[in-house]
Amino acid sequence: MRTTTYCYPWDLARLGVVRSLGEIASHGFAAIDLAANYHPIDALSPRGGLNLYTDARGAVYFPARETLYGRIKPFIHSNEIARAWPEAANEAARLGLGLNSWTITLFQPWIRDAHPDCARVLPWGDRSGSGVCAANADVRAYHAALCGDLAEQFDIALFRLEGVLSHTFDLDWLRPRNLVTISPLARTLSNLCFCETCKSRGRASGIDVAALQCRVVGAIEAEIAAEPGGEGRAAALAADAELISYTENHVRASMELVQEVVGRVGHAARVSCNAITPYRSLLGEARDDALLTGFILAGTQVDGNVLNPAGNSLAAALNAAISSPRPLSALYVTVRNPTVTSAAEMAGAGADRMLQNLQTTADAGYRELSLYNFGLLPDADVRAFMDAVAQLKTA
Ligand SMILES: [Zn+2]
């Protein structure tokens, strides 16, 4: 079983690139997944003295070259941290560690602030405070340029694209305040985007977008008001051909983003994403399987998550059915905030449970496990992970 570890450039800058990569290599990792850009974060590191790294709107963390970009220019956090990237690339090469670019896509509030027209627009008309839309041509061009810039400067083996699909409108990064119950159906519909680009793409597909938007908002409002007839509402929506088409369009925009990145850097590096859609209950299994297969074919590696065994099995089965199956990789995360329940439960469940979860992932055909995240974990946790991986049985 191959292992990689996620890491932050600010941790490498603070702790020392040579020292940190030396420790990572001595643990036996094959590669690092180094953040090239990032979303808002409050990250607590126990290494080298407690440290809270905080950034409110996200930024770019490598020495991006502005002239290579179109309308959206990279917002570089600071030269001090960006300098860690070339240092890390050199040191990784010297140590024989692979270098992956951990690349955030749609969860980029700083882009949304600089270019409000790139924001995802919620069905009821408000702009997302944190997300941009994959259908927007400038957003896609920016990400292709970003990956191209990285590929030209560094010897990158893999671009791991994070968050190519919309995140939930109430993602818990900015004290969301929902005092109403959002049913699963309302939540599913709330992922849709009604930005100008998405609406014009919908109209080009022959959809009466204005009428559709009214139906979607009406359904969300009825769900929140707990009006009776929920089952009938869900059935009517699942039979709404315009809604199905609009939803598929929305997902395909993210697929196009992946394709555009592959078009730019696919000759030099693999490109992966985790593309489990939030629409399975609406679209039905066959349509959703087709979309997931589309993502698998768009990229050159598939990323899963140890916390999602059902999703991992589904992706593995669909991957096995294509003519050139992609390598399967899975993230292992133990976020211990009580607000991130499933990860916290797993983290608290001990070494046996970790081994069991990792073995389930290995049994599904995953041959790379990526530990999140070197700078945020004490060394004992890194050793426990590597010890568990050493015990895995792979066919
Ligand atoms: Zn949109």
Taking 70 as the threshold, does the pLDDT of residue 341 lie above it? no
Taking 90 as the threshold, does the pLDDT of residue 224 lie above it? yes
Instruction: Give residue 123 CA to ligand 1 midpoint distance, Å.
Output: 10
**Residue 302 DSSP SS3:** strand
Q: What is the pLDDT of residue 337?
A: 74
Beta strand spans in the chain (E):
2-7, 31-35, 37-38, 41-45, 51-55, 59-60, 98-104, 119-121, 127-132, 158-162, 270-273, 301-305, 328-333, 368-372
**Residue 131 DSSP SS3:** strand
Instruction: Give residue 270 CA to ligand 1 midpoint distance, Å.
Output: 27
Taking 90 as the threshold, does the pLDDT of residue 325 lie above it? yes
Find the mean pLDDT for residues 144-170: 96
- Are 1 and 362 in contact by the 8 Å Cβ rule? The answer is yes
Instruction: Give residue 218 CA to ligand 1 midpoint distance, Å.
Output: 19
Instruction: Give residue 309 CA to ligand 1 midpoint distance, Å.
Output: 30
Instruction: Give residue 289 CA to ligand 1 midpoint distance, Å.
Output: 22
Instruction: Give residue 103 CA to ligand 1 midpoint distance, Å.
Output: 20
Quote the percentage of the chain above a pLDDT of 70. 98
Burial class (CB in 10 A: 0-12, 13-18, 19+), 390: exposed
Indicate the pLDDT class of residue 207, thresholds 50, 70 and 90: very high
Taking 90 as the threshold, does the pLDDT of residue 371 lie above it? yes
Q: What is the pLDDT of residue 230?
A: 87
Tell me what the pLDDT averaged over the chain comes to.
95
Between 144-153, 165-174, 233-242, the lowest mean confidence (pLDDT) is in 165-174
Instruction: Give residue 278 CA to ligand 1 midpoint distance, Å.
Output: 16
Residue 259 CA to its chain's centroid (Å): 15
Instruction: Give residue 106 CA to ligand 1 midpoint distance, Å.
Output: 11
Find the mean pLDDT for residues 63-90: 98
Q: How far apart are CA 281 and CA 238, in angstroms?
A: 8
Distances (CA, A) of 83 to 16, 72, 86, 164: 11, 22, 6, 27
pLDDT digits (tens, 9 = 90+) for 264-274: 999 999 999 99
Instruction: Give residue 265 CA to ligand 1 midpoint distance, Å.
Output: 25
Quote the percentage of the chain above a pLDDT of 90. 90
Find the mean pLDDT for residues 84-105: 98
Taking 80 as the threshold, does the pLDDT of residue 214 lie above it? yes
Instruction: Give residue 161 CA to ligand 1 midpoint distance, Å.
Output: 19
Indicate the pLDDT class of residue 9, thresholds 50, 70 and 90: very high
Indicate the pLDDT class of residue 213, thresholds 50, 70 and 90: very high
pTM of the model: 0.96
Instruction: Give residue 312 CA to ligand 1 midpoint distance, Å.
Output: 27
- Are 388 and 358 in contact by the 8 Å Cβ rule? The answer is yes
Indicate the pLDDT class of residue 284, thresholds 50, 70 and 90: very high
Instruction: Give residue 194 CA to ligand 1 midpoint distance, Å.
Output: 5
Residue closest to 131 by CA, chosen among 110, 107, 115, 163: 107
Bridging pattern class, strands 119-121 and 127-132: antiparallel
Instruction: Give residue 167 CA to ligand 1 midpoint distance, Å.
Output: 13
- Are 330 and 304 in contact by the 8 Å Cβ rule? The answer is yes
Between 82-86, 93-97, 110-114, 168-172, the lowest mean confidence (pLDDT) is in 168-172
Instruction: Give residue 195 CA to ligand 1 midpoint distance, Å.
Output: 4
Instruction: Give residue 117 CA to ligand 1 midpoint distance, Å.
Output: 9
Instruction: Give residue 202 CA to ligand 1 midpoint distance, Å.
Output: 10
Residues with a beta carbon under 5 angstroms from ion ligand 1: 133, 135, 193, 195, 198
Q: What is the pLDDT of residue 165?
A: 97
Taking 70 as the threshold, does the pLDDT of residue 181 lie above it? yes
Instruction: Give residue 198 CA to ligand 1 midpoint distance, Å.
Output: 4
Residue closest to 171 by CA, chosen among 58, 305, 75, 52: 58
Indicate the pLDDT class of residue 254, thresholds 50, 70 and 90: very high
- The HSE-up count of residue 31 (CA atoms within 13 Å, CB side) is 22
Instruction: Give residue 15 CA to ligand 1 midpoint distance, Å.
Output: 40
Q: What is the pLDDT of residue 336?
A: 78
Q: Domains along the chain?
A: 2-176+253-390 (3.20.20.80)
Find the mean pLDDT for residues 188-196: 98
Q: What is the pLDDT of residue 329?
A: 98
Indicate the pLDDT class of residue 338, thresholds 50, 70 and 90: low
Indicate the pLDDT class of residue 175, thresholds 50, 70 and 90: confident
Burial class (CB in 10 A: 0-12, 13-18, 19+), 70: exposed
